[in-house]
Structure 1
Amino acid sequence: MKAETVKKDFPIVCVGGSAGGLDAYIRLLRDLPADMGVAIVIVNHLRIVATQLHEILPRYTEMPVELITEGLSIQPDHVFIIPSQRDLHVLDGEFRLKPISKPRGWPDVITVFLRSLAHHWDGRLIAVIVSGYDGDGSAALCGIRDVGGITIAQTPDTAWQPEMPASAIASGCVDFILSPENIAREIVRIAQEKA
């Protein structure tokens, strides 16, 4: 019983992005301590190209960086990366992968994952939308706030591609609009608040 409680009582930060997201992920991770008790899940929406984030991002954080596999246990103080061409869900403290539900047009993998978190995660939720095209993630932000989560968008003028954070802001359900460095500070503040 205790293991189940431990699995689900820590915060998850979903960082959703696309074009220009790498710059934001690096700037964010560089300013996050490795021991704050939070799981970071990077949901980069790629259509065809395989992700290389799990090879690039370990240079910028002391947290272990893992490419998500089916049934992988969610742990604090780790960075998890969505694989390409998959929808990501969470159930019973583990990641679940499904075939991508929107194979044509812009993916909605960020929206899919945020909705799964809102329904199946008991710990605190922080949804972060950074640089990218389209509006993936925006449709789920109000649902994150409805379950007591916190929503953050990258300041559009600090994003390589401002369309995705601008769409998030336009949803009317964003609590903070911050640069990647200030997003990191806010995550640290929230993590300390829960202690």
Structure 2
Amino acid sequence: MTVSQKDFPVVCVGGSAGGLDAYTRLLHNLPDDMGAAIVIVNHLRVVATQLHEILPWHTKMPVELITEGLILRPNRVFIIPAQHDLHVLDGEFRLEPISKPRGWPNVITVFLRSMTEHWGGKLIAVIVSGYDGDGAEALCDIKDAGGITIAQKPETAEQPDMPNSAMASGCIDFVLSPEDIARQIVRISLEHSPDGVPAAAHGVNHP
């Protein structure tokens, strides 16, 4: 994959308990042609994810369960499979057995750090509802790489632990509801567009 093909924003949305509510509210307010890729990194150690079956009801973007070597593309939603760490290399997803099988997973932190090391495009890290503090340790790395960090407003989250941990990192740019997170992502995509007028400027989906 060439540098030009990588030149689109990637939005990593990390969550756990209560994340489904945040994911659906977020996707419902995102257009399907804004030119960004959405990667949902959800904590699941044992139970197989069903997000790739549920979320297509809330977006017109294709929703794909990540497999080894799947190419990262804009205007798609990608879902991490259970029991795996997720990395990116040369514009493709790489899967490895989960490195922390006991205790709270750190799959969000692992993926965010991989993105800072191996992705040349714009990065947006979003931490939504969930227990513990996965992802918080990598947020300063995202900012150091020129990315943008967003936490779900705790009072809008079913489980505020992860947003609170993200905010405690001192490296959060915005604290917003899922609906406002979607609006901020669209604004960032608009700023990133070469002509300044991406298709996302023309409206949002409400399937």
TM-score after normalising by structure 2 = 0.92
C-alpha distance in 2, partners of 1:12/1:133?
24
Aligned letter for 1:36?
Answer: M
2:115 to 100, 107, 117: 117
Q: CA deviation at 1:4?
A: 1.6
2:200 aligned residue: none
2:19 aligned residue: 21
1:42 to 37, 40, 54: 40
Aligned letter for 2:8?
Answer: F
- Check conservation: 2:9, 2:123, Cα contact below 8 A: yes
C-alpha distance after superposition, 1:44-94 (max 9, x if no partner): 011211100000000000000000000000000000000000000000000
C-alpha distance in 2, partners of 1:116/1:74?
14
Q: CA deviation at 1:190?
A: 0.1
Q: Could you say what the CA RMSD is over the residues aligned between the two structures, in angstroms?
A: 0.6
2:5 aligned residue: 7
1:139 aligned residue: 137
C-alpha distance in 1, partners of 2:182/2:96?
30
Q: CA deviation at 1:7?
A: 3.0
1:68 to 58, 66, 69: 66
- Check conservation: 1:7, 1:74, Cα contact below 8 A: no
> Identity of counterpart residues, as a percentage?
75
C-alpha distance in 2, partners of 1:165/1:44?
14
Aligned letter for 2:173?
Answer: D
C-alpha distance in 2, partners of 1:7/1:21?
30
Q: Unaligned stretches of 5+ in structure 1?
A: none
1:58 aligned residue: 56
| Corresponding residue pairs, total | 193
C-alpha distance in 1, partners of 2:97/2:80?
12
- Check conservation: 2:3, 2:120, Cα contact below 8 A: no
Aligned residue for 1:69, secondary structure, equals: coil
1:96 aligned residue: 94
Aligned residue for 1:41, secondary structure, equals: strand
Q: CA deviation at 1:32?
A: 0.2
C-alpha distance in 1, partners of 2:10/2:52?
18
- Check conservation: 1:118, 1:143, Cα contact below 8 A: yes
C-alpha distance after superposition, 1:144-191 (max 9, x if no partner): 000100000000000000000000000000000000000000000000
Aligned residue for 2:40, secondary structure, equals: strand
Aligned residue for 2:182, secondary structure, equals: helix
Q: CA deviation at 1:6?
A: 3.8
Q: Unaligned stretches of 5+ in structure 2?
A: 194-207
TM-score after normalising by structure 1 = 0.98
